[in-house]
Amino acid sequence: MTLLRPPALRPGDTVAVLCGSSPVGDQDHLESGLRALSSVGLKADVFATARDTGSMYDYLAGDDAQRAEELTRALTDPRYAGVLLAQGGYGMQRTLEAMDWSRIDAGAPKVVVGYSDVTALLEALAAKLGWVSLFGPMVACGGFWEGPEEYDFQQLMRLLLTPASVRELTFPKARTLVPGVAEGLTLGGTATLLTAGLGTDTSYPARDAILFLEDVDELPFRLDRVFTQLRRARSYLDGVAGIVLGTFTECGDPAHVDRLLTDRFADLGVPVLAGVNIGHNTAMQTFPIGVHARLDADNGTLTFLDQVLTDRD
């Protein structure tokens, strides 16, 4: 299946900055991230959820209806060329439950960027609207708010502003769990969020896909349960073409996690590349969701067979 690629951004564009999950933990970080956007010529319209301090619950930015309404406005209002999430955390599943997808024109894709809890939104954009999106750094989080010289920010801006210059991701420090080459649609994100979406109308099965997985702050026995659930959900993992494994920081003994990754993914009969620098607590490359790509697990590369974003007229 081919998903619709949103147009690239260009200096002078206005982007919506909002929260679909938890409140921003430090407003100074948000302000610094906004300055980084300004440094490349992007204008930010900061929505109320990015300023909310937890008016419903301390782990939610605003209430469910507010988050869904702001997200819908950002995705439909032609003033906004893209949507950049300020923060992850917890709560995107509640936001998705409150969404009315019929209000959004599937034929007018916009680029949406975020990671961690935002995984649920990126998967929903593919399932409900057929849009390509970006698993990448967020405005009030590390690698973005530290300023425009940060690696994470620079990698994201290259993809957003000059997508023709980003044809391949290279992972020189990655390790090959299963050798081989595979082609498919790039999917995935934070593993616990993909698992939380199983059985819902926003889950997007990984058949014929290059599936990316990462996570944070999940002890090995919980990761084991998550990976095993993905395996048992046959409609999800059956027919997967290849697997890319990112960071699993704050997940206990790294050696235990490595054994677990081998145990749960090396027997699937597809190429598996582990240890790529995408995810939490790393100098992060941006991973497109919904783009045709070729994984070379032997050489540690992911080559995009289509340009990730379309050129602007």
User: In this structure, how many other beta carbons lie within 10 angstroms of the beta carbon of residue 106?
Assistant: 13
Cβ-in-10-Å burial (0-12, 13-18, 19+) of 128 comes to middle
Whether 280 is catalytic: yes
Whether 183 is catalytic: no
Whether 256 is catalytic: no
Out of 150, 214, 218, 292, the active site residue is: 214
Sequence-distant (≥ 6) Cβ neighbours of residue 300 within 8 angstroms: 170, 171, 172, 174, 176, 273, 276
Out of 21, 22, 123, 280, the active site residue is: 280
Token code pair at residue 145: 């708010």
Strand order in the sheet with 181-190: 168-170, 301-304, 292-296, 181-190, 209-216, 242-249, 272-274, 175-178
Residue 37, amino acid: L
Let me know the angle formed at the C-alpha of 165 by 159 and 168, rounded to the nearest 5 degrees.
Answer: 80
Out of 22, 69, 70, 116, the active site residue is: 116
Catalytic residues: 116, 214, 280
